[in-house]
Amino acid sequence: MAHVPPFPESSEEAASAESLALQACDDVDALHVVWRAYACLEKLIEPQHRSEAEELCPSRTELSTLMGLVNEELRRRIEVADVTVQALRVAVSESDVQ
């Protein structure tokens, strides 16, 4: 999966609306990576042809573990995107005041 650069945790760091908008775009791109992983899982769970189902036989435990990892990564990336968008809102509202 694509690496998502961490967003600075300090709210006192000055970040321009432009840099935050770029970060938000990167965050959305990262969410697309997880979405593609879900699409892959869908294909594993519901193969198009019967012969594929017989060749691919992951256990429920394996699928559950894989889904758990994908869900955790999706949750993490949503949180990163949320922090970025919230910071962007603050930066835009502060620039409107000035």
pLDDT at 9: 45
Mean pLDDT of 50-56: 62
Structural tokens at position 19: 């840099």
Between residues 3 and 62, the one the model is more confident about: 62
- pLDDT mean across residues, the chain: 78
pLDDT at 93: 86
* Of the listed ranges 6-10, 85-89, 90-94, the one predicted with least confidence: 6-10
* DSSP conformation letters of 29-98: HHHHHHHHHHHHHHHHHS-SSHHHHHH----HHHHHHHHHHHHHHHHHHHHHHHHHHHHHHHHHHHHHH-
